[in-house]
Chains A and B, each alone.
Chain A
Amino acid sequence: MSDSHDHHHDHGNGHDHPHGHGHDDTHILRRKEDVGYLHDTVGRTEHEMDYFQIRVVALLNVLREKGLVTTDEMRRAIEDIEAQTPAIGAKVVARAWADPEFKKRLLMDAKEACAELGIDTSAVNHLVALENTGQVHYMVTCTLCSCYPRVLLGQPPTWYKSFPYRSKSVVDPRGALRDLGYEAPEGIELITVDSNADCRYLIIPRRPKGTEGWSEERLAMLVTRDSMIGVGDALTPQEFEARPIPV
């Protein structure tokens, strides 16, 4: 943040523009570092931001000016958030596939079982693992907001937070799955789980056929984020081999 110091004389105090304010909210973003923050987080210039994005940056400016939070602390917090990825959940699922005793413990007390793998779930009050089988298929939603097992899956995908998914997942669960490209088998018991209070849910997808004897590391590569939300199955070895590699 050293490059910001020599610019303080002409930014941020609000006194060098005694008039002409009040018509253009985008002037809330006065400093070079604000623009940098935006590019890092939302990737937009101030002219492309909507009302709430501008409000967030304005609030951040006030907190910084009062010395309550620094840009560096913000950056670290963002890094911590981004360090949480579905790979953590995939590791848990792969262990459950490989070790039936671990799966029992995971289904009994998911927080304890995660602790065995060194995963810190203290941010969650109650963690519940649910197993998809040939008879039962669980899918998770949060109709009130965006409750999601972030400690295991990272940030929720945009569709999970969207109004169409949040409403249709309870009003027409099979239709919501179809919208996401998943056809729930006709005879399966589909259980929609609305995550509305103190619990977070991890779905253990069915272990794909043809993976007997695979190592946990290899199994984990088949566990997709969506399969742990219950809106899809894990990849088959064939699907894994055939998937396009993102550049």
Chain B
Amino acid sequence: MEQTRFQVGQRVRVKNLYPPGHIRTCPYVRGKTGVVSRYFGRYKNPELLAYGKDGLPARELYWVEFSVNDLWDHKPGKPQDKLRIEIYEHWLEPA
């Protein structure tokens, strides 16, 4: 098995950073805590590809699951409702 930085089932927090440039980490999940639900593999970094660079080093891409009600103060979902989104490793830290 490939060694990855995070494991399925692990609780992770999305870094609450706002750097300029082309970023795929949606603002509404920054600073939020979720659970790794799948590992997708390594992909070239779109934050670099967007500027004509080679996108290397490739970054691990994870599917992170959040409770919908953890994302918004107005708690729009049923308790069981979830949101899943793709997050690159350098945006995640253990929670």
Interface residues of A (CB under 8 A from B): 125-126, 143-144, 170-175, 186-199
Contact = CB atoms under 8 A, between A and B. Distances in A.
Interface in B54-76: 61, 63, 65, 68, 71-72, 76
A198 B78 contact: no
B2 interface: no
Contacts of A190: 68, 77-78, 80-82
A131 B56 CA distance: 34
14 contacts: A144-B24, A173-B76, A187-B78, A189-B82, A190-B68, A191-B82, A192-B81, A192-B84, A193-B85, A197-B24, A198-B61, A198-B86, A199-B40, A199-B86
Contact of A198 (B28, B40, B77, B81): B40
Interface of B: 24-26, 28, 40-41, 43, 46, 61, 63, 65, 68, 71-72, 76-78, 80-88
B24 A186 contact: no
Nearest to A141: B83
A192 B65 CA distance: 10
B81 A173 contact: yes
Contacts of A170: 28, 71, 83
B77 to A, nearest CB: 6
A49 to B, nearest CB: 28
A199 to B, nearest CB: 6
Listed from nearest, the 6 A-B pairs whose CB atoms lie closest are: A197-B86, A194-B85, A172-B76, A189-B80, A190-B81, A191-B82
Contacts of B76: 171-175
Contacts of A174: 76-78, 81
A182 to B, nearest CB: 15
Contact of A196 (B26, B40, B41, B77): B26
Contact of A193 (B46, B78, B81, B84): B84
Contacts of B63: 199
